[in-house]
Amino acid sequence: MDDDALVRDALRNHLGRLGYRVLVAGDGQDALRQALAARPAVVVLDLRMPGMDGHAVLRQMKERGLDAAVVFASGHAEVDDVIQVLRGGGVDFLRKPWTPTELAAALARGFEVHARRARSPSDAPPPPSLRGSCSDLSKRLVDPLAREVAAIPSVPSVIAELRALVMNPEASIEKVASLVERDQALLARVLRLGRSAQYSGIGKSADAPAIIRRVGLRQIHALVETVWMNTCFQIKDPRYLPYAARVARFALARAVAMRALAGPARADPSAAYLGGLFADVGALFLLSAHAADGVEAPEIALEDVREHHEAAGGRLLAHWGHDGGVVRVAQCHHSGPEGTEMIVLATAIAGELTADRDLTAKESEAEAELVERSATSLGVTDARRRALVERLRAEYSGALEVLG
Q: Are residues 15 and 85 in the same domain?
A: yes
Residue 301: what are its φ and ψ, rounded to 5°? -60, -35
Bridge partners of 93, per DSSP, are: 72
Task: Pick left, alpha or beta for residue 180 (phi over 0 → left; psi -120 to 50 → alpha; otherwise beta).
Answer: alpha
Structure confidence by residue, pLDDT tens digits, 265-304 = 888 898 899 999 999 999 998 888 888 777 667 888 888 8
Q: Are residues 50 and 102 in the same domain?
A: yes
In a domain, 189, yes or no: no
Q: pLDDT value at position 363?
A: 67
Structure confidence by residue, pLDDT tens digits, 224-254 = 889 888 888 888 888 899 999 999 999 999 9
Q: Are residues 143 and 73 in the same domain?
A: no
Q: pLDDT value at position 38?
A: 85
Residue 72: what are its φ and ψ, rounded to 5°? -95, 155
Q: Are residues 148 and 77 in the same domain?
A: no
**How big is the chain, counted in residues?**
404
Lowest mean pLDDT among 23-32, 48-57, 214-223, 383-392: 48-57
Q: pLDDT value at position 92?
A: 77
Find the CATH number of the domain harbouring 75: 3.40.50.2300
Q: pLDDT value at position 57?
A: 86
In a domain, 353, yes or no: yes
Measured at the CA of 305, the angle between CA 304 and CA 308, to 5 degrees, comes to 85
Q: Are residues 144 and 92 in the same domain?
A: no
Q: Are residues 105 and 36 in the same domain?
A: yes
Boundaries of domain holding 393: 136-153+232-403
pTM as predicted: 0.64
Q: Are residues 75 and 146 in the same domain?
A: no
Q: Are residues 76 and 141 in the same domain?
A: no
Please count the structural domains in the chain: 2
In a domain, 221, yes or no: no
In a domain, 124, yes or no: no
In a domain, 373, yes or no: yes
In a domain, 322, yes or no: yes
Lowest mean pLDDT among 26-40, 84-98, 248-262, 323-337: 84-98
Quick check: 386 pLDDT over 90?
yes
In a domain, 22, yes or no: yes
Lowest mean pLDDT among 46-55, 140-149, 320-329: 140-149
Q: Are residues 48 and 146 in the same domain?
A: no
- What average pLDDT is seen over the chain? 79
CA distance linking residue 114 with residue 43, whole number of Å: 11
Q: Are residues 146 and 81 in the same domain?
A: no
Q: Are residues 284 and 316 in the same domain?
A: yes
Task: Express as a percent the part of the chain with pLDDT over 70.
Answer: 81
| Residues 316 and 286: beta-carbon distance below 8 Å | no
In a domain, 262, yes or no: yes
Q: Are residues 384 and 237 in the same domain?
A: yes
